[in-house]
Amino acid sequence: MKYGIYYSYWEKEWSADCLRYVEKVAKLGFDVLEIAAHHVNGYEPRHLDEIHRCAKDNGLILTAGLGPSKDRYLSSPDATVRAAGRKFFEETLTNIAKLDVHVIGGGLYSYWPLDYSEPVDKEGDRARAVEGITGIADFAANLGIDLCLEVLNRFENHILNTAEEGVAFVRDVGKPNVKVMLDTFHMNIEEDSFGGAIRAAGPLLGHFHTGECNRRVPGKGRIPWREVGEALREIGYEGAVVMEPFVKMGGQIGSDIRVWRDLSNNADEAQMDRDAKDALIFSRYMLEG
Ligand SMILES: O=C(CO)[C@H](O)[C@H](O)[C@H](O)CO
Ligand SMILES: [Mn+2]
């Protein structure tokens, strides 16, 4: 397994420039840096080259995370929004391919976070989501990219809340580069068993996020990491384990993630770095067995 971190740990905005995290994260000992794909289309070609080169020089693998926005996503009941979603995905996939990204994960099948002030049509949204993901899968495959559909908790989305629902969805799509993605934070809310959920995903598991129940770094909470590690090893998972901690308030990230208190013990950047490094050592120790 490869170990990574989402740079949103240090940031308040998804649009933050990921370049400054490439060297930092490599130096902390990570194999993988996850970058937000939300704004990659706004990067100049020169900047994409620079990020790509810097990742290569630092021996770092890049993965991408995405929560599509409500005005352009693949399963909207509105055909104009679906078309804008398709265009956005084509551009985004093309740009992340330039960074040698082979995995994109998140609620790709919907928009995020969901607006529950509107009526929920789970059946209709799911059917359109299967169609939308199926429609973009070959485009991603031609760029060598896996689409990893993140199973989210009920407060963030309604289509995929459990590993079982993720597996059924991925089977309905039936494309080899469309996979299930799990996240221990969401699993803690929705799954009866951590190990059971990972085993249910089995060979379809394409990407994995980690975080404690309150999204602090792994090792500072009560997720059963041994059980998680045993199950990941049992299914022969060889993908990335990317920690996705959120500990600071503010900005679009703080608002989307609903961070309303400081969970970092007022850590400065140096302390945040040490916490990330400790969490990496802890994760390797607990998950590798
Ligand atoms: O777990 C998540 C949201 O709660 C997601 O992984 C990301 O934060 C989202 O897709 C944005 O990249
Ligand atoms: Mn996640």
Residue range 248-261, pLDDT digits in tens: 999 999 999 999 99
Q: Give residue 71's identity as a one-letter amino acid code.
A: D
pLDDT of residue 289: 86
> CA 217 to CA 272: how far, in whole Å?
10
Q: Rounded to the nearest whole angstrom, what is the distance from the C-alpha of residue 132 to the centroid of ligand 2? A: 21
Dihedral Cα 53, 56, 269, 242, nearest 10 deg: 130
Residue range 189-221, pLDDT digits in tens: 999 999 999 999 999 999 999 999 999 999 999
Q: 190: which 2 tokens?
A: 């929705």
Q: Is the pLDDT of residue 239 over 90?
A: yes
pLDDT of residue 254: 98
Count of CA atoms in the C-beta half-sphere (13 A) of 63:
30
> CA 8 to CA 283: how far, in whole Å?
19
Active-site residue among 150, 156, 191, 212?
A: 150
Q: Rounded to the nearest whole angstrom, what is the distance from the C-alpha of residue 152 to the centroid of ligand 1? A: 8
State the residue for tokens 């969805």: 169
Radius of gyration over alpha carbons of the chain, in Å? Answer: 18
Active-site residue among 34, 156, 212, 244?
A: 244
Closest C-alpha to ligand 1, atom 4: 257
The band of 89, judged by pLDDT with boundaries at 50, 70 and 90, is very high
> CA 168 to CA 159: how far, in whole Å?
11
Provide mean pLDDT across the span 122-132.
98
Predicted-complex ipTM score = 0.97
Q: Could you identify the atom of ligand 1 that is nearest to the CA of residue 107?
A: 10
Decide if 73 contacts 85 (C-beta within 8 A): yes
> CA 42 to CA 65: how far, in whole Å?
16
Count of CA atoms in the C-beta half-sphere (13 A) of 21:
24
H runs (alpha helix) in 99-241: 122-142, 163-173, 184-190, 194-201, 225-234
Compute the mean pLDDT over every residue in the chain, rounded to the nearest whole number.
Answer: 98
Catalytic (active site) residue 118: no
The structural domains of the chain, ordered by start, are 2-288 (3.20.20.150)
What one-character DSSP code corresponds to residue 17? -
Q: Give residue 248's identity as a one-letter amino acid code.
A: K
Q: Which residues surround ligand 2, an ion (CB under 5 A)?
A: 183, 209, 244
Q: 238: which 2 tokens?
A: 């060889």
pTM of the predicted model, to two decimals? 0.98
Question: Which one, of 168, 171, 195, 199, lies nearest residue 184 by Cα?
Answer: 195
Q: Is the pLDDT of residue 285 over 90?
A: yes
